Chains A and B, each alone.
Chain A
Amino acid sequence: MVEQEGIRRYVAHFILWIGIAIVAFPVYLAIVASTQETGVIANGQMSLLPGGEFLKVYYQTIFVGTSGSTREPVGTMMFNSLVMAMLIAVGKIAISIISAYAIVYFRFPFRMPIFWLIFITLMLPVEVRIYPTYKIVADLHMLDSYAGLALPLIASATATLLFRQFFMTVPDELLEASRIDGAGPFRFFWDTLLPLSRTNMAALFVILFILGWNQYLWPLLITTRDDMQTIQIGIRKMITTTDALTEWPVVMATAVLAMLPPVFVVVVMQKLFVRGLVETEK
C-alpha cells in the first residue's frame, strides 16, 4: 500500500475544493445576478448573495425577453435550440447507423471510396468552410429554417466511425443464427443490431445533444429572423447595445437557462456522457 495517510489527504481535499470553487464561481455569480435589480448591478453595487427578484426576472426572460435589444422571449429561443439540438443528434445517429451498417455488412462496388469520402469529413469543422456553406444553404432557400440549422452540422463522420467500430465487434454467429431463422437484412438490423447498439446510441446522443445545443457560429450566420434565433445567439444580442442599456439580470437569467439543459444532461447521465466523450474523441 502506497502511503496516503495524514496531511496529504487533507491537501488533496483542499485543492479539489479550490478547483470546484474556481469552476463554480462564475456560474454562482450569474445565478445571483439573475435575482437582482438591473439598476443595482449597473451601478457596480451587486451583492454576492441572491436577491429577491428571482420570479420577476425569470418570468420576464422566458415570456417577454429584454425590453430593449431583443424583444424575443427566451422561451422561443430555447425551443429553437431544442429543435436544432434534437435534429442534429437524432439525424446524425440515424444516417450514420445505416451507412455504417451498409459498409460493414454488405460488399458492394465503391464501398471503400464511399467510406473514405465520409471519413475525410472528420478533418474539417464547419468553421473553415463557413461562407461557401452559407451560400449553398441560401441557394437551397434554407436560411432561417431548422433544416438549414441542422443539416450542415450533420455532415460529419464521427458517428459513422463509432458504429462501424462497434459493428465489427458484433460476433458473426449472430448474423448466421438470424439467417437460419430466415431473417433478411432489415429484420437482422431491427431485431438484433439495433437493440445491441442501444448504449452506444445513447452515449452518442448525449454528446451530440450538448454539441448541438451549444452551436454558435453557424446559427449566428444563417438566422436573421428574431423568432428563429437560438438561445446562444439571443444572449449575444442582449449585450450588443451600449453597457448602460444592458439588462444584466435578464442576460444572466438567459445564461443560466442556456446552461441548464446540457449541464443537466451531463450530471444526470454522467456514465453515458463520459463514455460518449471518450469514444467520439478517438
Chain B
Amino acid sequence: MQKNAIFQSKLLPYALVAPQLAIVLIFFYWPAAQAVFQSFLQQDAFGLSTTFVWFENYRDLLSQPDYFATILRTFGFSFAIAVSSLSFALLLAVMADKPLRGGTLYRTLLIWPYAVAPPVVGVLWIFMLHPSLGVLSRYLRALGVDWNPLLDGDQAALLIIVAAAWKQISYNFLFFLAGLQGIPKSVIEAAAIDGARPMRRFWTVIFPLLSPTIFFLLVVNIVYAFFDTFGIIDTMTRGGPGKSTETLVYKVYTDGLLGGNLGGSAAQSVILMVIVIMLTAIQFRFVERKVTY
C-alpha cells in the first residue's frame, strides 16, 4: 500500500488530495447522505412541515404491488439482456480466437458499438422497428406478426432487451476474447491429443476455464442493464406502453419529475443504492478469487 521511499511534508499531501476530496464530499457524500436522510422524512401535502417517520416510506413503497412489479421487471430485463448478449458475444469470441486471416480486422469491426451512446442505440432501434415506418417492421408484418411495440407491452420489452443486448455485445466480446487468449494453448492441445473433439473441448476445458470471466461479465452486464438502459428506454418507449418497460432507475426519474413525494423518491434511491452495493460487493469478492483461480 505504501512505498518505502517517500517525501516528507506536512501540508503538501493535503493540498494534493484537497481538490478530489472537495468534489467527492460535495457531489457524492452530501447528496447520498441527503437521500438517506430524506427517506426517513415525510412532508405534509403543502410541503410546510416535515416529520421523521423512520421506515414508513420504505413500508409504503414495498407494499405497492406496482413497485414490486418494477423490481421484478428490472431484474428480468437484466438477466435477459445479460444472457442473450453474453452468449452471442461468446460465440463470436470463440470464432475470433481461432487463427484466422483478418483476425484484427474482425476485432475492430466488432468492438466499435461500445462507443455508441444508449440514447443513440434507442433511436437506431426504434427507427428500424418503428410500427409505421420501420424497415424491419415491413418484413415482420409480411411474416404475419402483428408488430407494434408502441402499443404492445411485451413487444416493447423485447425491443428494449434486444437493443440493450446489441450495445453490450462488443464489450462482452472484448473481455471474452481476452479471457480466451489467456487460456494456455497447451491445455487445449492436451485435450485434443486425448481425442476430445472441438465441441467437447469447448464445454469440458475452455468453458470452465472461462468461468471467472463469465461471472465477472454477468455482474457488469446486470449493472449495465440497471443504469445504462435508461437512455435506451427514454428514447424508445419512455417506460411505456403502460409501465411495461419501466425499470427502477426510470421510475426514480419519472417520480422525481412529477415532484411531490420527496421521501418516497429518496427511499427509492436508497433501495437502488443497496442493490448496487450488493452487486459491487459480489463483484469484488469474485475479482479476488479470479486472481487465485
Residues of A within 8 A of B (CB): 1-4, 8-9, 11-13, 15-16, 19-20, 22-27, 29-30, 33, 41-44, 46, 48, 94-96, 98-99, 101-108, 111, 114, 117-118, 121-125, 127-133, 135-137, 151-152, 154-157, 160, 167-168, 172, 175-176, 179, 184-185, 188, 210, 213-214, 216-217, 220, 232-233, 235-236, 239, 243, 248, 251-252, 255, 258-259, 262-263, 265-267, 270, 273-274, 277-278, 281-282
Contact of B235 with A130 in the complex, beta carbons under 8 Å = no
Chain A contacts for B135, CB-based, 8 A: 29, 46, 48
CB distance from A207 to the nearest CB of B (A): 10
Contact of A98 with B119 in the complex, beta carbons under 8 Å = no
| Docked CA distance A94–B95 (Å) | 40
Contact of A133 with B20 in the complex, beta carbons under 8 Å = no
Among B13, B111, B112, B276, the residue within 8 A (CB) of A125 is B276
User: Taking A129-B269, A262-B116, A266-B114 as contacts, is the C-beta distance between A26 and B189 under 8 angstroms?
Assistant: no
Chain A contacts for B17, CB-based, 8 A: 98-99, 102-103, 114, 118
Contact of A176 with B124 in the complex, beta carbons under 8 Å = no
Chain A contacts for B116, CB-based, 8 A: 27, 214, 259, 262-263
Interface size class of B (residues with CB under 8 A): 35 or more
| Docked CA distance A166–B227 (Å) | 29
Chain A contacts for B123, CB-based, 8 A: 30, 235-236, 239, 251-252, 255
Among B34, B120, B126, B132, the residue within 8 A (CB) of A258 is B120
Chain B contacts for A157, CB-based, 8 A: 24
Query: In chain B, what residue has the closest Cβ to A179?
Result: B5
B105-126 interface code vs A (CB 8 A; 1 in, 0 out): 0111111111111111101111
Contact of B192 with A210 in the complex, beta carbons under 8 Å = no
Contact of B21 with A235 in the complex, beta carbons under 8 Å = no
Among A26, A44, A107, the residue within 8 A (CB) of B2 is A107
